[in-house]
Amino acid sequence: MHILQIANFITETSGGMKQCLSALQKRYLQLGHEVTLIMPCNKNSQGIENGVNVIRLHGVPLVGSGGYRVILRRSPLAALIQELQPDVVEVSDKTTLSWIPQYLRSLHIPCVVISHERTDLAMKRNTPGWLPSAPFLKSWQTSLSYGAPVVVCASQFAAKEFDGMGMDVHFVPLGVDTKTFCPQPRQGNSSHIKLVYCGRFAPEKEPFLAIEALRELVARGIEARLTMVGSGPLEADLRTCAVGLPVKFVGQISSRSEVAALLSHADVGISMGRVETFGLSILETLACGTPVVVSKEGAASEFVNSGIGRVVNQNAVDIANAVVEIVNNASLNEVRENCADLASRYTWDKTAGMMLDIYSDLLENVGMSQVAS
């Protein structure tokens, strides 16, 4: 099977989506499938990378996004699809690429759209008050509905925006590499609480809440330190916000094993993005045996419970209270075991298997419709 992945809003080092695509690619290849990835870049290029045919098309940079680009020209992308003749297409952008399902339908090529984000909430958050977002939402919803693709969501929260659209929604949770992200020997008894934030420094991730929670803990006389792992458009503002506080910015770390070590040696991870459709970094933190504090409003609340962390409101006081509850738990070692145990149930092999089952069903339906015609 030739699987074509098409993605916008992705860079060479971007987080969750890049990790998801790479993990799926690896499993698809191991099972004997052919994989091509089309992604935006500053100039056109093509080459084989780790067994994947990677095609980069010129994309328009998004100002203030921290390096994201978007492929806007349709004709080069349409020509590539016709040239490649894939068996199935996996689209990781349901807004600027919402025209693709309808186009693929005319070519009788099955299409799956992976919903990595809640577009309705993102537009509501980022669209100026004077600019109505409803027409834009209606436009991409109509395109998707007409193309009638399968939509893959990692959570009930992610699927909610498709209510009433008549879409064929499948639930496929993401996975974690437990060989890399696993509990490691802790470095002795520390006199302070070690907090970690791991993710993009972007508005939708709400990284300021981690710093404000630390500020609250310090104001209470509690010794705590925070490590901020990542980069993004809010970095300068975050550094300004952290002045005078024990916060360490370590930047974007390319080595997954180094990230795993930081997560494993922390006492608590903080991830308060209220529009997270799954929370891959949360799962990686849990896999390292580190409990988490997450938002009540995102998808993480669907799998985080009191045995592995806390689900709280979007304010520093509640986050700080949750941190204190976690570290003062007499059964903290058991909590850490629970974290790793839950994460071990989410594997990329399972994720890829579920995706391939969807593709097989789609191809079977295409074959039956062609015979019928």
Domains of the chain (ranges; CATH) run 2-175+347-372 (3.40.50.2000), 193-343 (3.40.50.2000)
What is the dihedral angle through the alpha carbons of 364, 365, 371, 373, rounded to the nearest 10 degrees?
-160
Residue found by looking up tokens 């006081």 in the block: 317
In this structure, are residues 3 and 90 in contact, taking their beta carbons and an 8 Å threshold?
Answer: yes
- Distance (Å, whole) CA 223 – CA 217: 7
Angle between helices 100-107 and 74-84 (to 10 degrees): 40
Once rounded to an integer, what is the mean pLDDT over residues 218-241?
Answer: 96
Q: 371: pLDDT confidence band, cut at 50, 70 and 90?
A: very low
Q: Which pLDDT score is estimated for 308?
A: 96
Q: To the nearest whole number, what is the mean pLDDT of the chain? A: 90
- Range scoring the smallest mean pLDDT among 81-95, 188-202, 294-308: 188-202
The single-letter DSSP state of residue 203 is: G
**96-114 pLDDT, tens per residue?**
888 899 899 999 999 999 9
At 233, which amino acid appears?
P
- DSSP H helices, the chain, are 16-30, 74-84, 100-107, 119-126, 134-147, 156-159, 208-219, 235-241, 256-265, 280-287, 316-327, 332-343, 348-372
Helices (H) and strands (E) counted in the chain, each on its own, are 13, 16
The single-letter DSSP state of residue 300 is: G
**232-284 pLDDT, tens per residue?**
899 999 999 999 999 999 999 989 999 999 999 999 999 999 998 999 999 99
Instruction: Kindly provide the b/e burial profile for residues 189-215, where b requires at least 16 CB atoms within 10 angstroms of the residue's own CB.
Output: eeeebbbbbbbbbbbbbbbbbbbbbbb
Q: Which pLDDT score is estimated for 129?
A: 57
Q: Which pLDDT score is estimated for 254?
A: 87
What are the residues whose beta carbons fall under 8 Å from the beta carbon of 331, sequence distance 6 or more? none
- Distance (Å, whole) CA 195 – CA 213: 10
Is the pLDDT at 352 greater than 50? The verdict is yes
Q: pTM for the complete prediction?
A: 0.89
Query: Rounded to 5 degrees, what are φ and ψ at 272?
Result: -110, 20
Is the pLDDT at 6 greater than 60? The verdict is yes
- Range scoring the smallest mean pLDDT among 14-28, 72-86, 345-359: 14-28
Once rounded to an integer, what is the mean pLDDT over residues 162-178?
Answer: 90
Closest CA relative to residue 316, chosen from 175, 203, 205, 217: 217
C-alpha R_g of the chain: 21
